[in-house]
A and B are shown apart, each in its own frame.
Chain A
Amino acid sequence: MFSEHVNNTISRLLIGIEGERKKRKERMKKLWLYSLIPLVVLGISFLVYPNPVVLIASGVGTLIYIIVIAIIGYSSKMKLINVFKQQVLIPSIKEAYPGVTYAQKASITRDEFVHSQIYSASSVDRFKGEDLFTGKHGDTTFKFSEVHVEERRTRTDSKGRTQTYYVTIFKGIFMIADFNKEIQSHTRVMQASDGFFEKLFAGKTKVSLEDPVFEKMFNTYSKDQVEARYILTPAMMERMIELQKTWGGKTHYSFKGHYMFVAIANSYNHFEPEMKQEVGLDQIKRIFNEIDNCLSIIDTLDLNTRIWTKQ
């Protein structure tokens, strides 16, 4: 997988992280065991002094203790994940994927996400993302990251009180890739979820294509009927069906300017080490597998074929 020098360095680092992980696991086990002490104290004190004040005070104490342990546990886990990503994952990716850059804390930006017009800008109220990969795969420049987008909504109860809450409108992998054909207009391919009225009011922007499986799976909208078909050739439609079957989640596309935008909904947290398992080369292999799956979007959609005027 790596050159000998990198392999040695990474193996040494992994041994260190694995040691830390085991120590942390033991420490956390002890801390959780200690939480039984206030619970026992709570029980005994209630038996000795059956006073509600004692009960409430002991209860609050136990709760605070549990919250503190949870915070300690979370922050120590994140610290280990950060060490893994910074010291192991970044150099590993550099070695295994020449030309690909990985940034743990960066992501596709809100502006880029909105620019795709897959979701309306007014729905993007809370935006966050991580694990940004940028680079070139074959002849295709790309960037992708995990993205989580939420829309703010309000509800009013019977007493007239309004409450604000957030609803996830997209969570998954968002990719921007250089498309292999020139695009003048804008074409959207949305996984078939639009209701009767959305289709009805789509009017002339709705594109009816020949592939019945594709038509059942996706709704296509474009201001340019010819360009939509120029992008969505019969072969491209088949590739999109194949990609959807591989990923399973809802997949939306937008073709605009020089770019293709792909949003694949998926609740799984990608590119993360699993701290409940041994931190070793297997974890790196699993993450590489996830990166390969994302890069295979470019291969599946055949974006490296550059036989048209755009190179």
Chain B
Amino acid sequence: MDTTLIIILVAAFFLIIIPIFLYNGLIGKKNRVKNAFSTIDVMLKKRHDLIPNLVETVKQYMEHERGTLTEITKLRAQIVDNKDISNGERVQLENQLTNKINGLSLNFENYPDLKANTNFLQLQGSLNEIESQLSASRRAFNASVLEYNNGLEMFPSSIIAGMMRLKPAEFFEVPQEVRENVDVKSLFNN
């Protein structure tokens, strides 16, 4: 084979084929981030569907938590009714909702009558399930963000990413209150 032809083929490989692979790889990673976020969305919607039932069941037992229950209902309505809300604001509201629900869950133990209600136990199981699924989808989302951001920053895909003007995606941050250790003393004071 002619040496020139070989050089042309090798150059074509480096200039056309590899950039195509890198481009497709980046698009794939970007779509995986989108897909992972939509999974979180599905879980959040499941949680929204569960909240009215949960509030309805626990409110007759948890007289002292009326304030928290009202806040939970209000936050849910803010998210569900407000379709034009931005992703950032939505994440913030969802995190507030997570905190409120977690706070409420910790107090379930103080109400023995509530723990004896089979309907409540079923709802508690579903809530735990959704929270675990939610945590898993957040982690899956963060893993795909990490993979995508690595693609943007690592050579040689960073060159293609620069040309495509791709911006790094943001991790789904866990709310500050969840990250902090549980203050056992404050639980006893409740």
Binding site for B on A (CB under 8 A): 181-182, 207-210, 225-230, 233, 307-309, 311
The answer, among A208, A225, A233, for a CB contact under 8 Å with B135, is: A233
Q: Which residues of B are found within 8 Å of A233, using beta-carbon distances?
A: 132, 135-136
**What is the CA–CA distance of A243 and B122 in the complex, to the nearest angstrom?**
32
Cβ-defined contact, B139 with A210, below 8 A: yes
Closest to B143 in A: A208
The answer, among B125, B140, B144, B147, for a CB contact under 8 Å with A307, is: B125
What are 16 A-B residue pairs whose CB atoms fall within 8 Å in the complex?
A: A208-B147, A209-B143, A210-B143, A225-B144, A228-B136, A229-B137, A233-B132, A307-B124, A307-B125, A307-B128, A308-B125, A308-B132, A309-B122, A309-B125, A309-B128, A311-B125
The smallest C-beta distance from B38 to any residue of chain A, in angstroms, reads: 11
**What is the CA–CA distance of A307 and B137 in the complex, to the nearest angstrom?**
19
Tell me if B57 is interfacial: C-beta within 8 Å of chain A: no
**What is the CA–CA distance of A208 and B29 in the complex, to the nearest angstrom?**
14
Binding site for A on B (CB under 8 A): 36, 39, 122, 124-126, 128-129, 132-133, 135-137, 139-140, 143-144, 147
Q: Which residues of A are found within 8 Å of B140, using beta-carbon distances?
A: 225-226, 228-229
Q: Which residues of A are found within 8 Å of B132, using beta-carbon distances?
A: 181, 230, 233, 308
Cβ-defined contact, A309 with B129, below 8 A: yes
Q: Which residues of A are found within 8 Å of B129, using beta-carbon distances?
A: 181-182, 308-309
Q: Which residues of A are found within 8 Å of B136, using beta-carbon distances?
A: 226-230, 233
Q: Which residues of B are found within 8 Å of A229, using beta-carbon distances?
A: 135-137, 139-140, 143
Q: Which residues of B are found within 8 Å of A308, using beta-carbon distances?
A: 125, 128-129, 132
Q: Which residues of A are found within 8 Å of B128, using beta-carbon distances?
A: 307-309
**What is the CA–CA distance of A37 and B182 in the complex, to the nearest angstrom?**
80
**What is the CA–CA distance of A221 and B168 in the complex, to the nearest angstrom?**
26
**What is the CA–CA distance of A182 and B36 in the complex, to the nearest angstrom?**
20
**What is the CA–CA distance of A229 and B36 in the complex, to the nearest angstrom?**
12
Q: Tell me which of B36, B124, B135, B136 has the highest count of chain A C-beta atoms within 10 A of its own C-beta.
A: B136
Taking A225-B144, A229-B140, A230-B132 as given, write out 17 further A-B residue pairs in contact, using a Cβ cutoff of 8 Å, ordered by the A residue number. Answer: A208-B143, A210-B139, A210-B143, A225-B36, A225-B140, A226-B140, A227-B136, A228-B136, A229-B135, A229-B136, A229-B139, A230-B136, A307-B124, A307-B125, A308-B129, A308-B132, A309-B125
